[in-house]
Amino acid sequence: MACRVINKRQHVGLQQLSLFAETGRTFLGPVKSSKFVTGGDCHESVLISSTVRLLESLDLTSTVGQLLYEAVQAQNNTYRTGTSTLLFLVGAWSRAAEECLHLGVPIPVIAAVMSEGLDSCREEVAFLQVPVHNVFDCVHNSRTISGLETPHVGSCPFLQAPSGAGGIPKEHDFKHAASQLLTVYSLSGRPVKLPEFFNLPVKVEAGKEASQGLKSSVHTDTCSRKSVLTHSRHFNRTNNSLWISKQDGFLEQYSAATPKTYRCCDLVELAVGLSHGDLGTMKLVEAAVQLQYHKACVQQGNCTVPFMFDVSRVFTCCLPGLPETLSCVCSGYVTVVPIASITLIEGLENQPLRVVLIEGDLVESYHHLGFNESTNIKTVLDSVELQGDSSEELWTNYVLQVLTQFNVNLILVQGNVSEPLTEKCGHNKRLVVGSVGSSVMQAFAEAVGAVPVTYVSQVNADCVGSGVSVTFWRTPLEVVGRSSGMPILLKTEGINLITAVLTHSVPAQMQAKEDRFWTCAYRLHYALEDEKVFLGGGAVEFLCLSHLQILAEQSLSKGDHPSLGWLPNTSCWLASSLPAYRPTVLKCLAGGWHRYLSALMCNSATCPSELAARTFIEHHVQNATASGSPSAYILNEYSKLNSGIFNAGFSDKLEQVPRVYDIVTPKMEAWRRALDLVLLVLKTDSEVITGLGHAQMNSQEVGGLLFL
């Protein structure tokens, strides 16, 4: 790939964003290519397999680089997924903004049309959302995929969904759940039949009615649930069922019948679709969900309550050097202690331990946040015998005295632990574990009745919990010599805590494996939380591309786009400029989606070259536009290729390709953050160059300057 040189005479900030984004191009899509990042000073190399780790390894000292890093970190800290999409779209839309500048489009017009174009795309793709209960209903042949068969935990309502007929469906009798065909009318008025699986509304993109917000309402009888649009003036509702308004513009109709229940094994279809090819990692996540659900059933005494995947009670323990076959999911807390503690663990096995939970550090000099140390105080030791003991030794002896008084065998510390104290506790058959997460502390506090304290001096009989057991995660013979520490398992009855033990024989791949686990876990978490998913495989991005091109063509043909209401409070010059420049900006914005889909196809090896990918995409765009309803076209194509339009290379093995899904909220947020960053850099640089503030740039008096 040719290196791009920054042109100082053009918009430097947008060029920097494009260059930074280009470094993460190979991380887009399910087939990722790792990178080696070499330090300039020490020449040490680091293996990078994700966007987050890449930006952490780069020297982003510039202002633009820092803004990009913060945007990616915000996305990762919140959703743990969507960072590769964010990074690529930042680069694609930076180039789109540059193209608009070269064509003489004013900066306020670029910002306004790009923002409203993306908002229009976000509304449009809502018609490619699939309710999660539909995925559970339409299991079909996905259960036969090798490696993802999971043992179920009896009949249970994994998610509650409305149903007109009570009772629990049979395990394999899901084919009649979506028996009614959907009918969508294209521009010509001809009905378009869609496959049974797609129980969703489809927007009619045509003519004057489309610009007025007319949407086609699709009524289905599946699970006695109807989806209709609230923002159309062309329909009436006459029944008296319960309607609940939702933020996406739909009304959900629920009957008063008994909720439908689902088996835990129904999760397989959704998990496979969200794995994006990483079936091994998703299998671990699925096992964690099954185990967490089983715990919930046991605690409730029945399986009649809805259940969501709580990722805050799932943790990872990475053990590099061990074979991957040892990766598993355990109930309890798995952590690593020094090899020298093997004898101590053997002595503590098979007996209930009394535990103390310490918040903060367990060191002599630790003080809580906000502590003000007294000044002008001197300690005088009169005893000659104590002069040889340091304050550290005195404090260590005091801690041991307190632990002995309350017969404490296990100390869990949230922060760091004094090494001398750890050694002395080990000699006295007391185990100290440091760097314990706050959620782990909370889980143990709930399970054993312990009360976390900040200092050892606060420990009393009411703070001590009991009933914790410790054992080796694997026998010492399996671990010693392969790992630098000894993994142990701490557990107690009823603890709501799950540890995913991740192993890899190549230590350099350990971080990448942990990142993949959390990505899969959060995909499944947000899918269950949103109760809906997108059709994957590029379907959503392709709809955005087709939709923007249709809007651009409508603007050209009419000369004045009817959506001037987008910006009701803008100045006269800006409102008059929008019709002239809207087609140009929309086409440039659509070009970003074109680059995205092209890179996606090249990375997944479904096209031999970028030129072939762009030709393939353009062919489908023309077909979708000619059909009169891109949404209907995508649904029909998706029914032929479960994994999406852009996986045509697998067409000879359709029976082996599972359906692909994307999560809704993280994807939408990645789009928003990407465009917000591009527009921030665009506006900020222009204000620095011209010396005009935001208020001035939107005023009528400086209209002529904005065209320079």
Domains of the chain: 2-129+537-689 (1.10.560.10), 135-310+513-530 (no CATH), 333-368+388-496 (3.50.7.10)
Ranges 284-288, 357-361, 376-380, 469-473: which has the least confidence:
376-380
Instruction: Judge whether residue 123 has pLDDT over 90.
Output: yes
Mean pLDDT, residues 377-385 taken together: 51
**Contacts (Cβ under 8 Å, ≥6 apart) of 312:** 439
Residue 80 vs residue 44, higher pLDDT: 80
Q: What is the pLDDT of residue 265?
A: 57
Q: What is the pLDDT of residue 308?
A: 77
Q: What is the pLDDT of residue 477?
A: 86
Ranges 129-133, 199-203, 387-391, 432-436: which has the least confidence:
199-203
Q: What is the pLDDT of residue 174?
A: 28
Mean pLDDT, residues 582-593 taken together: 96
Instruction: Judge whether residue 543 has pLDDT over 80.
Output: yes
Structure tokens at 87: 């990074």
548 pLDDT band, cuts 50/70/90, is very high
Mean pLDDT, residues 567-582 taken together: 66
- How many residues would you count in the chain? 708
**Contacts (Cβ under 8 Å, ≥6 apart) of 481:** none
pTM of the model: 0.78
Structure tokens at 555: 């603007």
How many CB atoms sit inside 10 A of residue 519's CB?
A: 26
- The H-or-E segment that residue 626 falls in is helix 610-627
Q: What is the pLDDT of residue 133?
A: 85
Mean pLDDT, residues 671-689 taken together: 88
How many CB atoms sit inside 10 A of residue 61's CB?
A: 7
Tell me the residue type at 423.
E
CA-wise closest residue to 130 among 681, 660, 707: 660
Ranges 128-142, 146-160, 379-393, 536-550: which has the least confidence:
146-160
Residue 566 vs residue 491, higher pLDDT: 491
Residue 48 vs residue 700, higher pLDDT: 48
Residue 31 vs residue 680, higher pLDDT: 680
- 544 phi and psi angles, rounded to 5 deg: -60, -45
Q: What is the pLDDT of residue 643?
A: 52
Instruction: Judge whether residue 394 has pLDDT over 70.
Output: yes
Q: What is the pLDDT of residue 268?
A: 85
Dist CA 698 CA 615 (whole Å): 40
Percent of the chain exceeding pLDDT 70 equals 68
Q: What is the pLDDT of residue 30?
A: 85
557 pLDDT band, cuts 50/70/90, is confident
Do 221 and 117 meet the contact criterion of CB atoms below 8 Å apart?
A: no
- 599 phi and psi angles, rounded to 5 deg: -65, -35
Residue 441 vs residue 644, higher pLDDT: 441
Instruction: Judge whether residue 346 has pLDDT over 60.
Output: yes
Structure tokens at 201: 């509304």
Dist CA 169 CA 556 (whole Å): 53
Structure tokens at 133: 């209960």
DSSP structural state of residue 462: G
Residue 678 vs residue 157, higher pLDDT: 678
- 318 phi and psi angles, rounded to 5 deg: -95, 130
Dist CA 308 CA 529 (whole Å): 7
Dist CA 159 CA 225 (whole Å): 15
35 pLDDT band, cuts 50/70/90, is confident
Q: What is the mean pLDDT of the chain?
A: 76
DSSP structural state of residue 40: T
Structure tokens at 389: 């003991």
Q: What residues form DSSP beta bridges with 244? A: 252
Instruction: Judge whether residue 343 has pLDDT over 50.
Output: yes
At 450 the three-state DSSP class reads: coil
- Strands (DSSP E) found in 209-291: 227-229, 242-245, 250-254
**Contacts (Cβ under 8 Å, ≥6 apart) of 472:** 345, 349, 486, 487, 488, 489
Q: What is the pLDDT of residue 609?
A: 86
Mean pLDDT, residues 219-223 taken together: 35
**How far, in Å, are 205, 328, 478, 501, 504 from residue 325 at the CA level?**
51, 8, 12, 11, 8
- Strands (DSSP E) found in 582-698: 661-663
What is 472-492 written as a DSSP string? Answer: ESS-HHHHBTTBSSEEEEEE-
11 pLDDT band, cuts 50/70/90, is confident
Residue 198 vs residue 536, higher pLDDT: 536
